[in-house]
């Protein structure tokens, strides 16, 4: 692959309060790639994502964004490289959906954060892409969780980063919007050569959308590779502690216990 | 031009612009109106017809001229500037703690300032020195920073909005109790001064004080306005703010220092004043229909000025010649607003 590497980690150690949770995390994410982290609840997928962007102090190893150590980037430089969509619920007051998406343009505005016409066009593009333009004048607190999630995606897109990081982006979304969200991501990757790194719970979705899958469990990465390599019964059963035969990672078919 | 209009229309921006214009025009009218009333009304009523000549410097010999220029005008400016400062301090604290009922008084920050000022006053005046306004501001600033740090310590350990407020109120009580102790042990001469000041009042403002407070408050407020963008980003939460390029450490420090400085300046010159910091930003946000800092910051400043002019007018005229403490008046108008915020939130939760 000769596309540039946008995100790279070398022997990253992550954890809380100086207690390592995962060690030896090596990620290499190229332009135009979608990488998905999968693994059981609490395995540390979000912890890895948060450590990459420095919300959590990493306990060892290094993170490089477009070849530069992330620690050397200023907050502003990082904001031009990477945008995020998080799972934390927000509480805003009297802000419309357009207001929220507009904040995605802040890295490009002057001191007071006043958007230019060009910025507004970008905001509109991003909102059209996620099909939320109709929500623009609605209060962000008075729409559904799923709608909020899509607004936050539009915000991340409006920021025009090279890398988009999403922490469990399909939370709160019904299957229709889950599929739509992944389609949007694929279109982004295809048209803008963006790199996407995200954590996902839905295995069938992860299998379809990813170029590269990383399995997180215990104290590190237990497997990594293309979806074809990862979505085999052996690896998935091991990763999620499943009885053999209860879940078929290719078809998504589930077998329940006999009563 | 056509394109610009389309974009504006699409964003509902012209509607918003109109609303902002209406709100700010109303604020301007109210400010002028209340300014005039504050100058004219008092134990000596100055007829409106005389006000303009006096303000333009005519009739230097008349009593009215003396009253206006030496007493009412400095007091008016003090009330307006300090009111604006309080409202901004409240807005900053609400943003910082993501809590609509945070404010300098309720979080104990004003009382912290009061305690240290009282302490310094007794030591300095007791040692027969004179307390300068600069010293007042510095000691109030130290006091409010200490109280703020306490609140921060508490807020790290608890996640609940209401508990943070309770902790702040307790810090306020402790500081007020300690101030009362100090007053008890102070010499007679200090007591009169301290007692009046610790209840809160805009009376006794002189041009010297006004000059200092105007400079401090205007500089701090300009700095707050320049933080519009990071504040706006911070409204989405700390992590999103970071992802938009906000240096979160520097930003937090700036918020703490600026809100403490604004609250301290008010306390230094007028004593602790309650509820302005909560009520005014709330009303302004509702009126503007947005919480965007770019319009809320100037709006809250003027709103605070108007609110304090109004309350000061009541404080000194309702039971004239006796003055009511300013905090009593602001509480009567401000506390119901806090209750309504709480009720609304409870309703929204269900």
Chain B closest-CA separation from residue A189 CA (Å): 20
What is the C-alpha separation between A246 and A255, in angstroms, rounded? Answer: 5
Q: Which residues pair with A28 in a beta bridge?
A: A8
What is the C-alpha separation between A225 and A229, in angstroms, rounded? Answer: 6
Give the pLDDT confidence score for residue A145 in this predicted structure. Answer: 86
What is the C-alpha separation between B80 and B329, in angstroms, rounded? Answer: 15
Q: Which of A84, A95, A112 sits opposite B291 (nearest CB)?
A: A95
Tell me: the pLDDT tens digits for B268-310? 888 888 889 999 999 999 999 999 999 999 999 999 999 999 9
Fold held by B69-349? ABC transporter involved in vitamin B12 uptake, BtuC (1.10.3470)
For A74, the token pair is 């200023």
Give the chain A residue whose CA is nearest to the CA of B3. A117
Tell me: the pLDDT tens digits for A98-139? 999 999 999 999 888 899 999 999 999 999 999 999 999 999
What is the C-alpha separation between B196 and A194, in angstroms, rounded? Answer: 65
For chain A, list the domains and their CATH numbers.
Answer: 5-95+161-240 (3.40.50.300)
Q: Which residues of B fall within a CB distance of 8 Å from A86?
A: 237, 239-240
Give the pLDDT confidence score for residue B213 in this predicted structure. Answer: 92
Ramachandran region, residue B160 (left: φ > 0; alpha: ψ -120 to 50; beta: rest): beta
Tell me: the pLDDT tens digits for A19-61? 889 998 999 999 999 999 999 988 889 999 999 988 888 898 9
What is the C-alpha separation between A216 and A234, in angstroms, rounded? Answer: 15
Tell me: the pLDDT tens digits for A136-160? 999 999 998 888 999 999 999 999 9
Give me the residues of B, 275-294, that contact A with CB < 8 A. 285-286, 289-292, 294
pLDDT tens digits in sequence order for chain B, 350 residues long: 455 556 555 556 677 888 999 999 999 999 999 999 999 888 788 888 888 888 887 877 788 888 888 888 999 999 999 999 999 999 999 999 888 888 999 899 999 998 998 888 888 776 666 677 788 889 999 999 999 998 888 888 877 777 888 888 999 999 989 988 887 777 666 666 666 676 777 877 788 889 999 999 999 999 999 999 999 999 999 899 999 999 999 999 999 999 999 999 999 888 888 889 999 999 999 999 999 999 999 999 999 999 999 999 998 888 877 888 888 899 999 889 888 888 887 776 65
Q: pTM of the prediction?
A: 0.90
Positive or negative, the Cα torsion across A224, A225, A227, A232?
A: negative
The phi and psi torsions of A198 (rounded to 5 degrees) equal: -150, 165
A12: pLDDT confidence band, cut at 50, 70 and 90? very high
Ordered by start, the domain boundaries in chain B are 69-349
Q: Do A112 and B226 touch (CB under 8 A)?
A: yes
The phi and psi torsions of A215 (rounded to 5 degrees) equal: -100, 125
| Mutation target among A57, A79, A113 for the B interface, most CBs of B within 10 A | A113
What is the C-alpha separation between A25 and A199, in angstroms, rounded? Answer: 15
Q: Burial letters for B252-285: b for 16+ Cβ neighbours within 10 Å, e otherwise?
A: bebbbebbbbbbbbbbbbbbbbbbbbbbbbbbbb
A258: pLDDT confidence band, cut at 50, 70 and 90? confident
- Which parts of chain B fold into alpha helices (H)? 2-10, 13-40, 48-55, 63-66, 73-97, 109-126, 133-157, 161-185, 188-199, 207-226, 228-234, 238-243, 248-270, 276-288, 293-317, 326-349
What is the C-alpha separation between A198 and B187, in angstroms, rounded? Answer: 68
């Amino acid at each position: 692959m000769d596309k540039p590497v946008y995100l790279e980690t070398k022997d990253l150690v992550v954890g809380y309060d100086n207690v390592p949770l995962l060690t030896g995390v090596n990620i290499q994410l190229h332009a135009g790639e979608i990488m998905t982290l999968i693994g059981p609840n609490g395995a540390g997928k979000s912890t890895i994502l948060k450590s990459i962007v420095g919300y959590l102090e990493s306990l060892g190893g290094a993170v490089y964004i477009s070849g530069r150590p992330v620690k050397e980037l200023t907050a502003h430089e990082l904001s031009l490289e990477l945008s995020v969509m998080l799972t934390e619920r927000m509480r805003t007051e009297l802000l419309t959906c357009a207001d929220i998406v507009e904040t995605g343009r802040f890295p490009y505005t002057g001191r007071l954060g006043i958007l230019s016409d060009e910025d507004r066009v970008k905001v509109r593009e991003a909102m059209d892409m996620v099909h939320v333009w109709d929500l623009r004048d609605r209060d962000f607190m008075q729409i559904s969780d799923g709608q909020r999630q899509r607004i936050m995606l539009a915000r991340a897109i409006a920021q025009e980063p090279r890398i988009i990081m999403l922490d469990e982006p399909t939370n709160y979304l019904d299957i229709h919007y889950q599929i739509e969200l992944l389609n949007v991501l694929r279109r982004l990757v295809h048209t803008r050569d963006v790199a996407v790194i995200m954590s996902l719970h839905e295995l069938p979705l992860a299998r379809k959308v990813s170029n590269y899958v990383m399995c997180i469990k215990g104290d590190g990465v237990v497997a990594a590779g293309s979806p074809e390599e990862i979505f085999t019964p052996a690896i998935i059963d091991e990763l999620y502690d499943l009885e053999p035969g209860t879940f078929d990672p290719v078809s998504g078919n589930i077998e329940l216990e006999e009563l | 031009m056509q394109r610009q209009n389309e974009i504006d229309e699409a964003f509902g921006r012209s509607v918003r612009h109109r609303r902002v214009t209406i709100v700010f025009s109303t604020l301007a009218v109210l400010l002028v109106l209340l300014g005039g009333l504050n100058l004219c009304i008092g134990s000596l009523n100055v007829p409106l017809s005389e006000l303009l000549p006096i303000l333009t410097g005519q009739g230097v010999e008349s009593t009215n001229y003396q009253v206006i220029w030496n007493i009412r005008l400095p007091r008016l400016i003090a009330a307006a500037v300090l009111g604006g400062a309080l409202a901004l301090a409240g807005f900053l604290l609400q943003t910082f703690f993501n809590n609509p009922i945070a404010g300098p008084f309720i979080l104990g920050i004003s009382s912290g300032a009061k305690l240290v000022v009282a302490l310094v006053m007794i030591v300095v005046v007791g040692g027969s020195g004179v307390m300068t306004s600069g010293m007042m501001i510095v000691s109030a600033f130290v006091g409010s920073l200490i109280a703020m740090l306490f609140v921060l310590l508490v807020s790290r350990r608890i996640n609940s909005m209401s508990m943070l407020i309770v902790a702040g109120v307790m810090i306020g009580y402790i500081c007020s109790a300690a101030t009362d102790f100090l007053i008890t042990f102070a010499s007679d001469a200090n007591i009169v001064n301290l007692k009046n000041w610790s209840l809160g009042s805009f009376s006794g403002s002189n041009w010297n004080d006004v000059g200092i407070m105007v400079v401090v408050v205007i500089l701090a407020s300009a700095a707050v306005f320049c933080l519009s963008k990071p504040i706006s980003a911070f409204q989405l939460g700390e992590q999103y703010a970071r992802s938009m390029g906000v240096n979160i450490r520097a930003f937090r420090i700036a918020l703490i220092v600026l809100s403490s400085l604004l609250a301290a300046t008010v306390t230094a010159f007028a004593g602790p004043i309650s509820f302005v910091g909560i009520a005014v930003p709330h009303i302004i946000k509702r009126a503007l229909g947005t919480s965007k800092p770019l319009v809320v910051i100037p709006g809250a400043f003027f709103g605070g000025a108007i609110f304090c002019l109004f309350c000061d007018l009541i404080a000194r005229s309702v039971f004239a010649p006796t003055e009511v403490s300013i905090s009593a008046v602001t509480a009567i108008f401000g506390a119901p607003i806090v209750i309504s915020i709480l009720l609304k939130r409870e309703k929204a939760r269900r």
